[in-house]
Amino acid sequence: MTGTDYCKLHDHSPDKAYDALFREYCDYVHAIIFNRLRSVASREDIEECVSDVFADVFFGYDAEHSSENDMKGFIGTVAKRRAISVFRSITARQNHLSGDADDEMANMSSDTDIEAESDKTETQQLLMSKIKELGEPDSTIILQKYYYDRSSGEIAELLSMKAATVRMRAARALDKLRALLTGSGITL
């Protein structure tokens, strides 16, 4: 959806514009937020953050400077900033509660290892490509179960399958993925 499309729709009906924008970018925003907060926030926190992002976008999108460009870039930026903000807030609170000064110092002293970051990015992309090689619905099941930490029942409901089927496919897909990754010289 372009900025112009959104503004036209908004002028006609703000609610429809919000709904359309949300429909199109909800999964994208959730992916960004979840990716950043996965290890520190609860599922509810993540949903809360996603709702904050859309509230930011709904409220803050400048119609006067809308463009023909896809709004994905704008929304992605808002989502990343919001995710970082929430991440800092949560980790700061956790650090405050733990009172572990040594951990804090260790975090402060850690510099970004560019080489390690580059390796990590390559590994991420390889992992994703191998997951895609599993084909559907196995790739979705694997990500749902091991990345999004969904239960077999939840995945079954989402994919309209039986929970037992999900469990069976997940186990088989995991073995297959492990083999694929080993073949590529990757061990997680």
If the CB atoms of residues 104 and 174 are measured against another protein, the closer one turns out to be 174
98 or 129: whose CB is closer to another protein?
A: 129
Q: What does the DSSP assignment read for 24-85?
A: HHHHHHHHHHHHHHTTTS-HHHHHHHHHHHHHHHHHH--GGG--SSBTHHHHHHHHHHHHHH
Residues 85 and 37: beta-carbon distance below 8 Å: no
Q: How far is the CB of 105 from another protein (least distance, A)?
A: 22
Q: How far is CA 152 from the centre of its chain?
A: 20
Q: Identify which of residues 43 and 96 has a Cβ nearer to another protein in the complex.
A: 43
- Minimum Å gap between C-beta 97 and another protein is 22
Residue number with CB closer to another protein (4 or 99): 4
List residues binding another protein (CB under 8 A).
10-11, 13-15, 18-19, 22, 26-28, 30-32, 34-36, 38-39, 47-48, 50-55, 58-64, 76, 120-121, 123-125, 127-128, 132, 139-140, 143-149, 154, 157-159, 174, 177-178, 181, 188
Residue whose structure tokens are 């919000």: 18
